[in-house]
């Protein structure tokens, strides 16, 4: 049950939103108020947000262009309850309706196509997408619809590319900043009759503000659209990213160094090199009440990684990658009775991959890892991931103001695993710390693993009045174990018998008008996660990994945007949540009932924008932003607490002419000391320091 404190906050926010609804209706009594913002993520085509029973935040391309995010965290702060923490370069940890971390509980898509196969999840998925050049971003908080499968638990991210322009256009943005920051963004587009094309480029470099945290990135996107007749469209797209980074930017420090020497980096030997490419051809034809779409796609990526997070206990260099051949097919049919809609389709994914790992012995001087040597290959295997997922989704309006929906998805997943090394069982290596002795790692014998799962969903929306919309839904979701969880056993005796993690999510919400001078929304959710994966240790050695965990996540979220005056606009969002272990016994310690570590209860963000209308200052825009992260527990025993932080940012831009705009921004304006991660481990507090005061400036030229 909800605690009294939590229930009081939920009732308070619900009451405040009801008052806001009446205020909005009164303030705009003489204006027609319509809920007509469109979302495309749930059914892969335009659908009224007011008829979507989910908490969806839509960030438009104009907002992305105005913010000019150097990192995804700078734009995601506009999503209620979203915590995106920068790790290194554009890497990130994520917390939306979940603790901040790297768990595979988020689905990342580009134009509706997942950027990776489920079996090869990468929590840094946003740096494989060219977000600064995107046309928009949709974030569905909580599990996705029946059209999304494994990993769609905490949130679904869908980045939309910019479509081709009707007439010739080009744009170049050049910017520089603190700590050797330099970025070039370019885009050019045109149409010729029924065919249009757009190309985009992103080249980024930073020296990093901590010692040896350099980062380089090159990305390009090419898209071509072709109209076929009057009712069909073909869209071809190819994207590619190369990222080379030193990964110590999220490495933790002792409390003394965090406070007095934050540029230190104990993990200067760590690095990550990523190459990713995706290509797709989408064909869509609409014939009266029917629509058919099919999208075949290709994916290819590789990653070489010496991670910071294993240097103290399990040091290695891994070489991983996978290729994909996939297909998304959908058929939609509308019917007259009750405005009924029937959607069915199937998602197919065929993804062979590989995993090679070299053990290393590293040299440590004091707190610093300064060198390493390879001591031999410990893992070398290939794995073939296959998925077939049919789905069905239905909608109907028995009365005009009510929209009911339901869906069912069946996921059939298999892994074919081939071990290229010695027979299954234990083998010995030099101990991880380089001292005399042996340690035991395990690798399974070649095997096949199969999973099948049904994911039902139910939802309803009710347009109570033009300025008030109510929704509610139930969604069951799941997460299949990834290939590394199954076959990269480490010191776990048995990992191949892991089962999927299951989630039941209930939520309800209120929405005001989503366009106009005053918009708002509020929602409350309760999510229970079963069969969560936990490890049990004896004498410091992991001996078993099981599906014995159960957790609960519940919260209330809200957002408002108000054009106070023609010159002034206020935006704010926030969440109060609780993330707890219901059943969690690890290493002989029972954490049941405790707060999950790295799970702040309070997350808030507010912006104040000034866009003067007076003739002398037209073209100027200034925005101040406040972001607050509340306290959270630093360990599962709940013995230590990170007190949270407040950050202030300032952005400004001025259009010199219709073609030339200069801009600047200052992040962490007050130069606060804050942490991207804070943990109590090894009997001490450790912190990864966040970015200090950082300045950027540049110019955008449009042709």
What is the mean pLDDT of the segment spanning 254-271? 95
pLDDT for residue 427: 57
Residue 127 CA to residue 297 CA, distance in Å, equals 20
Give the 3-state secondary structure of residue 308.
helix
Q: Rounded to two decimals, what is the model's pTM?
A: 0.92
pLDDT at 20 over 70: no
Lowest mean pLDDT among 104-108, 186-190, 423-427: 423-427
pLDDT for 16: 40
Mean pLDDT of the chain: 90
Q: Is 401 helix (H, G, I), strand (E, B) or coil?
A: coil
**Tens of pLDDT along 159-175?**
999 999 999 999 999 99
**Domain boundary assignment for the chain:** 4-702
Mean pLDDT, range 92-112, rounded to an integer: 94
* Span 265-301, pLDDT tens digits: 999 999 999 999 999 999 999 999 999 999 999 999 9
Q: How many whole angstroms from its chain centre is CA 111?
A: 15
Residue 667 has pLDDT above 60, yes or no: yes
Give the Cα separation of 466 and 574 in Å (integer).
25
Q: 4-702: which CATH topology? A: Maltoporin; Chain A (2.40.170)
The pair of three-digit structure tokens given for residue 380, joined into one six-digit string: 């070398």
Q: Which residues lie closer than 8 Å to 630 by C-beta, 6 or more apart?
A: 600, 601, 602, 603, 644
Joined tokens for residue 637: 């025993």
Alpha-carbon Rg for the chain in angstroms: 25
Residue bearing the bigger pLDDT, 655 or 536: 655
Q: Give 675's pLDDT tier (boundaries 50, 70, 90).
A: very high
Is residue 434 scored above 70 in pLDDT? no
Residue 542 confidence (pLDDT)? 56
Write down the pLDDT at residue 7. 43
Count Cβ atoms within 10 A of the Cβ of residue 475 and give its class: 0-12 exposed, 13-18 middle, 19 or more buried: buried
Residue 236, Cβ neighbours under 10 Å: how many? 15
* pLDDT surpasses 80 at 317: yes
Which pLDDT band holds residue 541 (cuts at 50, 70, 90)? low
Report how far residue 482's alpha carbon sits from residue 497's, in angstroms, rounded to the nearest whole number: 12
Nearest of 477, 478, 479, 475 to residue 457 by alpha carbon: 475
């Amino acid at each position: 049950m909800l605690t009294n404190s939590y229930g009081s906050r939920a009732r308070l926010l619900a009451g405040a939103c009801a008052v806001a609804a009446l205020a909005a209706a009164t303030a705009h009594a003489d204006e027609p108020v319509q809920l007509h913002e469109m979302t495309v993520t749930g059914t892969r085509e335009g659908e009224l947000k007011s008829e979507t029973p989910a908490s969806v935040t839509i960030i438009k391309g104009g907002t992305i262009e105005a913010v000019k995010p150097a990192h995804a965290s700078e734009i995601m702060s506009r999503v209620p309850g979203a915590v995106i923490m920068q790790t290194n370069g554009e890497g990130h940890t994520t917390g939306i309706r979940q603790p901040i971390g790297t768990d595979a509980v988020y689905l990342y898509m580009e134009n509706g196509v997942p950027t990776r196969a489920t079996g090869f999840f990468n929590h840094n998925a946003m740096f494989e997408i060219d977000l600064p050049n995107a046309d928009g971003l949709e974030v569905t908080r909580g599990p996705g619809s029946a059209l999304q499968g494994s990993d769609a638990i905490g949130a679904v991210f869908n980045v939309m590319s910019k479509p081709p322009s009707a007439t010739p256009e080009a744009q170049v943005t050049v910017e520089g900043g603190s700590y050797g920051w330099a970025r070039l963004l370019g885009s050019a587009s045109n149409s010729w009759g029924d065919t249009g094309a757009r190309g985009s480029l992103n080249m980024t470099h930073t020296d990093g503000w901590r010692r040896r945290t350099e980062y380089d990135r090159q990305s390009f996107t090419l898209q071509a659209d072709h109209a076929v007749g009057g009712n069909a469209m073909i869209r071809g797209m190819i994207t590619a990213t190369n990222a080379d980074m030193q990964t110590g930017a999220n490495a933790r420090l002792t409390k003394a160094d965090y406070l007095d020497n934050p540029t230190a980096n104990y993990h200067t030997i760590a690095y990550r090199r990523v190459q990713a490419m995706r290509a797709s051809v989408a064909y869509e034809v609409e014939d009266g009440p029917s629509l058919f779409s099919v999208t075949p796609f290709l994916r290819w990526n590789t990653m070489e990684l010496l991670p910071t997070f294993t240097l103290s206990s399990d040091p290695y260099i891994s070489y991983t990658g996978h290729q994909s051949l996939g297909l998304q097919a959908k058929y939609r049919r509308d019917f007259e009775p009750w405005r009924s809609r029937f959607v069915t389709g199937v998602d197919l994914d065929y993804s062979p991959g590989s995993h090679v790992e070299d053990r290393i012995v590293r040299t440590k001087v004091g707190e610093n890892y300064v060198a390493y040597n390879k001591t031999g290959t410990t893992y070398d295997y290939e794995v073939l991931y296959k998925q077939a997922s049919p789905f069905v989704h239905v909608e109907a309006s028995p009365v005009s103001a009510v929209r009911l929906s339901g869906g069912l998805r069946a996921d059939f997943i298999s892994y074919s695993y081939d071990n290229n090394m010695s027979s299954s069982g234990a083998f010995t290596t030099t101990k991880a710390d380089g001292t005399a002795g042996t340690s035991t790692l395990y690798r399974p014998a070649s095997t096949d693993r199969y999973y099948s799962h049904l994911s039902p969903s139910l939802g309803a929306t009710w347009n109570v009045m033009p300025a008030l919309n109510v929704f509610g839904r139930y969604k069951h979701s799941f997460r299949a174990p990834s290939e590394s969880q199954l076959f990269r056993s480490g010191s776990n005796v048995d990992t191949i018998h892991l089962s999927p993690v299951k989630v039941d999510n209930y939520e309800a919400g209120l929405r005001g008008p989503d366009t106009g001078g005053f918009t708002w929304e509020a929602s409350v959710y309760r999510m229970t996660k079963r069969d969560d994966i936990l490890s049990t240790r004896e004498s410091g050695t992991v001996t078993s990994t099981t599906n014995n965990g159960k957790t609960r996540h519940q919260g209330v979220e809200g957002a408002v945007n108000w054009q106070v005056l023609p010159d002034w606009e206020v935006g704010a969002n926030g969440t109060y949540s609780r993330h707890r272990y219901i059943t969690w016994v690890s290493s002989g310690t029972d954490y049941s009932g405790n707060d999950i570590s790295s799970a702040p209860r309070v997350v808030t963000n507010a912006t104040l924008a000034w866009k003067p209308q007076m003739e002398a200052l037209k073209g100027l825009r200034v925005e101040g932003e406040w972001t607050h992260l509340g306290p959270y527990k630093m360990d599962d025993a709940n013995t230590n607490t990170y007190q949270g932080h407040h950050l202030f940012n300032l952005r400004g831009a001025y259009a010199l002419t219709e073609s030339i705009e200069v801009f600047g921004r200052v992040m962490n304006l007050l130069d606060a000391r804050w942490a991207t991660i804070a943990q109590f481990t090894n009997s001490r507090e450790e912190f990864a320091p966040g970015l200090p005061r950082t300045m950027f400036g540049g110019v955008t030229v449009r042709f």
